[in-house]
């Protein structure tokens, strides 16, 4: 019986889910059975979001470093009164403003990225749960079929063992009877593939107690 995505979502609830593509165990799940196109698409989307997050953090760090250098340029040029120094200060201020705008824009995007990463990650978990459930169901069906086959084979094996022993005992009786009558020379004409070695179990000797019981009966 299939389970709807909604059931999986309810099961997850507000549980905190680690980023799946960073979990080695998650990747191991699909080494044998493989994934689905939908899982592969979500995996790529999540990878791109994480790369974007890392790139933005790196860019902000670099911009802040440049911004610091520009601030130093302004401070070092403040004592100079020529036009070149004024232009240098003006350009530095302009670049600082541009840097601040970029930092603000990147930080705004960084605020949204965790929510988007969580959304895609949860959707990836839903698809993973659906695939795992489907695989578990298919494997369970196959396990039950194999178990039934093993059970039937065991019964058939036991019956064939009994049939084989019965025929071996019968051959032993026949061979022994003819051997006693005709002797080994005549027995060669039967071209036996093997000489029967099995013997029927000897009946147990009756104890005195058993004999007494029978007499009483």
Whose tokens are 């790196």? That residue is 58
CA distance 99 to 97: 5
Task: Please give the angle made by the CA atoms of 135, 118 and 100, to the nearest 5 degrees.
Answer: 150
Q: Would you state the pLDDT for residue 29?
A: 86
Q: What is the pLDDT along the chain (217 residues), one digit of tens a residue?
A: 467 777 777 777 778 889 999 999 999 988 777 889 999 999 999 999 999 999 999 999 999 999 988 888 777 776 666 677 777 778 888 888 999 999 999 999 999 999 999 999 999 999 998 888 888 899 999 999 999 999 999 999 999 999 999 998 988 888 888 878 877 776 677 656 556 655 555 555 555 555 555 444 4
Residue 90 near residue 65, CB atoms below 8 Å: no
CA distance 39 to 148: 34
Q: What is the dihedral of CA 50, 52, 58, 61, to 10 degrees?
A: -110
Closest to 15 in 3D by CA, of 118, 117, 114, 110 = 118
**DSSP secondary structure, 171-208, as one string:** HHHHHHHHHHHHHHHHHGGG--SS-----PPPPPPPPH
Q: Would you state the pLDDT for residue 217?
A: 44
Dig out the tokens for 58 from the structure: 């790196």
Closest to 74 in 3D by CA, of 89, 94, 86 = 89
């Amino acid at each position: 019986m299939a389970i709807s995505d909604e059931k999986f979502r309810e099961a997850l609830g507000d549980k905190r889910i680690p980023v799946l593509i960073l979990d080695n165990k998650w990747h191991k799940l699909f080494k044998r059975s493989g994934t689905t196109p939908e899982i592969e698409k979500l995996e790529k989307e999540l990878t791109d979001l994480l790369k974007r997050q890392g790139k933005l953090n790196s860019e902000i760090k670099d911009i802040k470093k440049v911004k610091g250098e520009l601030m130093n340029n302004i401070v070092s040029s403040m004592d100079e009164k020529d036009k070149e120094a004024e232009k240098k200060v003006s350009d530095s201020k302009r670049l600082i403003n541009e840097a601040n705008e970029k930092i603000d824009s990147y930080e705004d995007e960084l605020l949204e990225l965790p929510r988007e990463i969580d959304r895609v990650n949860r959707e990836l978990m839903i698809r993973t749960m659906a695939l795992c459930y489907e695989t578990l169901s298919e494997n369970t069906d196959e396990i039950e079929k194999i178990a039934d086959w093993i059970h039937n084979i065991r019964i058939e094996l036991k019956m064939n063992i009994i049939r084989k022993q019965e025929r071996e005992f019968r051959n032993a009786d026949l061979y022994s009877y003819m051997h006693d009558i005709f002797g080994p020379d005549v027995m060669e004409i039967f071209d036996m593939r093997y000489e029967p070695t099995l013997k029927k179990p000897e009946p147990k000797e009756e104890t005195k107690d058993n004999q007494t019981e029978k007499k009483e009966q």
